[in-house]
Amino acid sequence: MSLIVAIGAQNAFVLRQGLRREHVAVVVAICAASDLLLISLGIGGVGSLIRRWPTALTVTAWAGAAFLLTYGVLAARRALRPSGLDAGGGTGGSLRTAALTCLAMTWLNPHVYLDTVLLVGSVANSYGGSRWPFGVGAGTASVLWFTALGFGARLLRGPFSRPAAWRVLDAVIACIMITLAVAMVART
């Protein structure tokens, strides 16, 4: 659960979509299904394959950094021009855009491979014959987290009806995204 709950691009996007009530079920389903697949791959031994081909992580890091930098700049622009909850600045309401953005936040992020595939996979495999029950627990934690984050965000709807709250959220998102982008490039 500690690796899944870590604040990053994907969680910030799910929170924003939940606050805006835009395609929350689809976004939550994409995140949960992606994590379930990645956890399964890690337990199944794909982590050792990734370790043998570090160029894959380098390419993913550069693509992910470019994406996160772009998303961070857009969040910074929204922070400078805040609006209330129902104003623009989100995905524009398009299901396709929300789904593609969610997929990019998930699959272009090299941290997802390091955390979910390598680390969760390694920890799970340390349990030997109990590695798959561990994976079920990790997968359950992921589904619960994304569901709570996406659908629970509505509880924050009141405070986020004010432009100042969106300004703070977008500024925090911008800082996280730009920091992650710089860190990705610095590690390559």
* Residue 97 near residue 91 (C-beta atoms within 8 A): yes
pLDDT of res. 89: 41
d(CA 118, CA 131) in angstroms, rounded, equals 14
Provide the total of helices (H) and of strands (E) in the chain, helices listed first: 10, 0
Tokens of 65: 């950094």
d(CA 187, CA 185) in angstroms, rounded, equals 5
- Residue linked to tokens 């009141």: 158
- What's the CA dihedral at 186, 172, 79, 71 to 10 degrees? 40
- Residue linked to tokens 């996406």: 150
Rg (CA), the chain: 17
pLDDT of res. 2: 62
Q: Per residue of the chain (188 residues), what is the pLDDT tens digit?
A: 666 666 677 888 898 899 889 999 999 999 999 999 999 998 888 766 666 776 766 776 787 788 778 888 988 888 888 665 543 344 457 899 999 999 988 898 777 777 788 778 878 888 888 989 999 999 999 999 999 999 999 898 888 778 888 788 888 888 887 887 888 778 76
pLDDT of res. 91: 47
Let me know if 39 is exposed, middle or buried by CB neighbors in 10 A (0-12, 13-18, 19+). buried
pLDDT of res. 88: 39
d(CA 123, CA 17) in angstroms, rounded, equals 31
pLDDT of res. 86: 47
Residues shown for the chain:
188
pLDDT of res. 50: 62
pLDDT of res. 98: 94
pLDDT of res. 135: 92
